[in-house]
Amino acid sequence: MNILKDKGMFIGTLVTAGTMIAVIIAWLIVQNQPDTHAYTFDIVLEKMSQPVGITHANDERLFINERNGVIRILDTGELLDQPFLDIRDRVNIEGNIEQGLLGLAFAPDYAQSGYFYVTYTDADYTVHLERFQVTDDPNVADPESSMHMLLAEQKTSAHNGGHLRFGKDGYLYVSIGDGGESIQPDTTGQKTDNFLGKLLRLDVSGDEPYEIPEDNPFVDNPDYRPEIWALGFRNPWQFSFAPDSDAI
């Protein structure tokens, strides 16, 4: 028996099978592509400064967060002149294009509480999670109402993450990048004693600044931060929840 020959034939068979599978997958993708000619695109808004996110507060308005630290309101097609929130004095965008006002999410009970949450970076590469509250004017928030909830210190200006979403369970999910450049020798995303490279899950409906959900996966493990829902990420800049399942 020629072991080297048989091994080579085996590897060759695997390569051929792998190539065929790749071709089949590529064909399926092409066959299921939407007809681009069936769509048209219209410009609905101009004069924005690096918008990085858009969301709503369960009404007809759209809230757009600009990277420089300003949140604008688009109301029935009109961009309001006065910002909803302006925290440019706190937000740093000079070090890296990945920095800035990164996340915005409105509390499920926003109509009653007026609370909303933002993430942003400062000049020291720290990611901030803060809560703000709207004023008596529904189109203007109070910048002095801020409550610091969480800080994630990073070594560099890259890989900030910073996305925010409330899940179907009512908890606030926060993504934070590993804070590293293209080479990250200390693998912060795998370390369990920090927030870097993690997806966090917080209960912001109870005691301030937040509580830990009882079913967080590492809540009873002293070697892990209890806020961690998932770990090992590089830069989870955006995420979403599947409409028909619990998938993220």
Q: Which residue has the higher pLDDT, 4 or 96?
A: 96
As a whole number of Å, the end-to-end CA separation of the chain is: 51
Between CA 150 and CA 118 the distance in angstroms is 11
pLDDT at 7: 47
CB count, 10 Å around CB of 42? 4
Is residue 244 scored above 50 in pLDDT?
yes
Q: In degrees rounded to 5, what are phi and psi of residue 225?
A: -65, 130
Q: How many other CB atoms are found less than 10 A from the CB of residue 107?
A: 20
Can you give the pTM of this predicted structure?
0.83
CA distances in angstroms from 187 to 2, 73, 106, 144, 190, listed in the order given: 43, 39, 32, 37, 6
Residue 42 CA to residue 54 CA, distance in Å, equals 17
pLDDT at 185: 61
**Which structure tokens are listed for 91?**
């937000």
pLDDT of residue 11: 43
CB 53 within 8 A of CB 60: no
